[in-house]
Structure 1
Amino acid sequence: MKILALDFSGEPRGVALLEGTPPDMWEVRAEMEQRGGRSVPALAMVGRVLEETGWDRSEVEAIAVGLGPGSYTGIRAALALAQGWFLARGVAVYGANSMDSVAARAWGAGLRGRVRVVVDAQRRELYVAGYELRQEGWCRVEPLRLEAVERLQQANDRADWIWVGPEVDRWFSEGRLMGPSAVEVGRLAAREAPRRPEAWEPIYLRPVQFVKAQPVVGGTVVTSEGVP
């Protein structure tokens, strides 16, 4: 199977092409990362890696998307690209946790021990999840959650963890800079069942609140009680 993997959940944005057999037999054919947030030309990145491998767009059989948590706009952009490809080509669409891809990348880079991956959640909060990276592999040992920055900085067990993330040095001077990996997103996603692209959603732990706009009648806002 030939997979196009995307992770736009943070900096840098990443695109990769993998080929192999699910769940674990994969070769990386091409990989590209680029900084710049919304200014990064996603389709141009995809075109570059396809050109590098000599693949035609029609040869892509599946798309894997990093679902965050992270940049909601970036994740939505990746999902939109996947949906367009699905509508045009009928490819399978997979999703993966971007923080898991950081842990997988750290393990592949030789990091071992208890690792906490942190990602900026705004409002002086961080997305955080704990992992155990052993010689034979890695696993998550703490659930993904939101924590106040100050609480993590002052935690009694701070020194027991290796802190990793795309901007980790903003909060932990001893941390190791490492972002999500499109390659690892592709590997992780292919272990799961595909879904229709509209079934995948960005990972966002805060409850979404909508405020319904009041109706306007004749230029006057009418309240729920019907009183202008």
Structure 2
Amino acid sequence: MLLLAFDTATPAVTAAVHDGSAVLAQTYQVDARRHGELLLPAIGRVLAEAGVDKRELTALAVGVGPGPYTGLRVGLATAAALGHALDLPVHGVCTLDAIAHQARAEGLTGPFTAATDARRKEVYWADYDAEGCRVEGPAVDRPGDLTAREVSVGAGALLYPETFPGALGPEHLSAGALADFAVTELAAGRELLAPLPLYLRRPDAQVPAAFKTVLGGKPVLPA
């Protein structure tokens, strides 16, 4: 197996190549405003560092969120385009599941919550048991509406210590963890998600419900 994985559901733009046994190369850059600019160069770097031609890839894995609309669509559109061009299967991975997998790989034990920043003073979150299996979520809520979590990871947890006391890293996801999670699940015969976005709420940008009219009766958007 040669799997290319990437995620744009958090402020981190991250990509990795996994050979079915280990991560061969990975890259990680935090810049919430440049997902579209940074992703393809990141993919090119990890392929070059791993010594893998894109035509040698056997599968793709992409983070499906939850995450903001703009960031998510960059990763998912790129995965769809590459999958079509290279005739590869494209697997979706819940970004929170991959963060949980990364946290356990870094030594976290016991039940915990993974939370990312959903903006609007909200967090995307999911709860995991001692084995790292998701038991609740993903969901989006205001931290004040949640009961306090004793053990938590992720940027969302770090932002709201009153709800997530003692929050730990990783802050954002690294694609090496996403790739390893995908490989582990596939090797165990478990299906991954479809490469479709987990928005959990409506996008910030909305098409206006009302239109102005001009001469000739043609509808135009308000200025």
TM norm structure 1? 0.79
Structure 1 contact 7–14 (Cα < 8 Å) conserved: yes
Deviation at 1:103, TM superposition (A): 0.7
Query: 1:143 and 2:137 equivalent?
Result: yes
CA distance in 1, matches of 2:70, 2:202: 17
TM norm structure 2? 0.81
SS at match of 2:25: strand
Cα distance change on mapping 1:98 and 1:194 into 2, 3 Å? closer
SS at match of 1:80: helix
Structure 2 contact 111–132 (Cα < 8 Å) conserved: no
Query: 1:36 and 2:36 equivalent?
Result: no
Deviation at 1:193, TM superposition (A): 4.6
Equivalent residue for 2:19?
Answer: 19
Deviation at 1:78, TM superposition (A): 1.0
CA distance in 2, matches of 1:194, 1:141: 16
Counterparts of 1:69-148 in structure 2, within 5 Å, are: 69-133=66-130, 137-148=131-142
Calculate percent identity across the aligned residue pairs.
Answer: 33
CA distance in 2, matches of 1:45, 1:117: 25
Query: What are the Cα deviations for residues 43-73 of structure 1, in whole angstroms up to 9, with x where unaligned?
Result: 1111111111111111112111001112322
SS at match of 1:38: coil
Query: What are the Cα deviations for residues 88-140 of structure 1, in whole angstroms up to 9, with x where unaligned?
Result: 2111111000001111111101111221111222232222211123xxx3212
Moved more, 204-213 or 10-19: 204-213
CA distance in 1, matches of 2:138, 2:192: 22
Query: What are the Cα deviations for residues 4-62 of structure 1, in whole angstroms up to 9, with x where unaligned?
Result: 00011113221000112xxxxx3211111111123252111111111111111111121
Larger Rg belongs to:
1
The runs of 5 or more residues in structure 1 that have no matched partner are 21-25, 223-228
Structure 2 contact 150–166 (Cα < 8 Å) conserved: no
- Correspondent of 1:174 among 158, 166, 174: 166
What RMSD over aligned residues (CA atoms) do the two structures have, in Å?
2.5
Deviation at 1:149, TM superposition (A): 1.8
CA distance in 1, matches of 2:22, 2:158: 32
CA distance in 2, matches of 1:119, 1:180: 10
Greater strand fraction, Structure 1 or Structure 2:
1
| Code of the aligned partner of 1:200 | P
CA distance in 2, matches of 1:200, 1:218: 44
Structure 1 contact 93–194 (Cα < 8 Å) conserved: no
